[in-house]
């Protein structure tokens, strides 16, 4: 079975630009979460979506937005890019929404974004 897939694998942007990252969950998984991993740090939670609705949001500015499509794939959008947005962006999928359950999140390989 295919795991979580993300595209593109690498991306270079300049400050002020906009970026869209894409994620396809494991087949049958209905929940997608996004994390930002800055070099030398652990991943930081950005969003969780379940059944196309936002179920959780981390401490990120409004420049970050996301959505989930009827096929459960997801996009992460970042506007007005800053140098500090340079990071590995990880998508994770799980069968159901996470609150109250011991669901495991399975991660994709990530998109490495470099902002110049």
Partner 1 sequence: AQSVAQPEDQVNVAEGNPLTVKCTYSVSGNPYLFWYVQYPNRGLQFLLKYITGDNLVKGSYGFEAEFNKSQTSFHLKKPSALVSDSALYFCAVRAFSGYALNFGKGTSLLVTP
As a whole number of angstroms, the longest Cα–Cα distance in the chain is 41
Among 24, 48, 74, 93, binds partner 1 (CB under 8 A): 48
CA distances from 43 to 11, 51, 70, 72 (A): 19, 23, 27, 22
Residue 105 binds partner 1 (CB under 8 A): yes
Residue 60 binds partner 1 (CB under 8 A): no
Residue 56 binds partner 1 (CB under 8 A): yes
First to last CA, the chain: 37
What does the alpha-carbon distance between residue 30 and residue 83 come to, in Å, rounded to a whole number?
32
What does the alpha-carbon distance between residue 32 and residue 73 come to, in Å, rounded to a whole number?
8
Residue 102 binds partner 1 (CB under 8 A): yes
What does the alpha-carbon distance between residue 112 and residue 7 come to, in Å, rounded to a whole number?
10
Near partner 1 in 75-94, by CB under 8 A: 90, 92
* Minimum distance of partner 1 from residue 1's CB (angstroms): 14
For partner 1, what does the binding mask look like between residues 7 and 46, x meaning CB under 8 A? --------------------------x-x----xxxxxx-
Q: Which residues in this chain contact partner 1 in the complex, by CB under 8 A?
A: 4, 33, 35, 40-45, 48, 55-56, 58, 90, 92, 97-100, 102, 104-110
């Amino acid at each position: 079975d295919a795991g979580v897939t993300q595209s593109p694998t690498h991306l270079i942007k300049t400050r002020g630009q906009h970026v869209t990252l894409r994620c396809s969950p494991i087949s049958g998984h209905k929940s997608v979460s996004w994390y930002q991993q800055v070099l030398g740090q652990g991943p930081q939670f950005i969003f969780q979506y379940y059944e196309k609705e936002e179920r959780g949001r981390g401490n990120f500015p409004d420049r970050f937005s996301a959505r989930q499509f009827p096929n459960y794939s997801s996009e992460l959008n970042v506007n007005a890019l800053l140098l500090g947005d340079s990071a590995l962006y990880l998508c994770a999928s799980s069968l159901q929404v996470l609150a109250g359950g011991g669901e495991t999140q399975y991660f994709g390989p990530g998109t490495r974004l470099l902002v110049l």
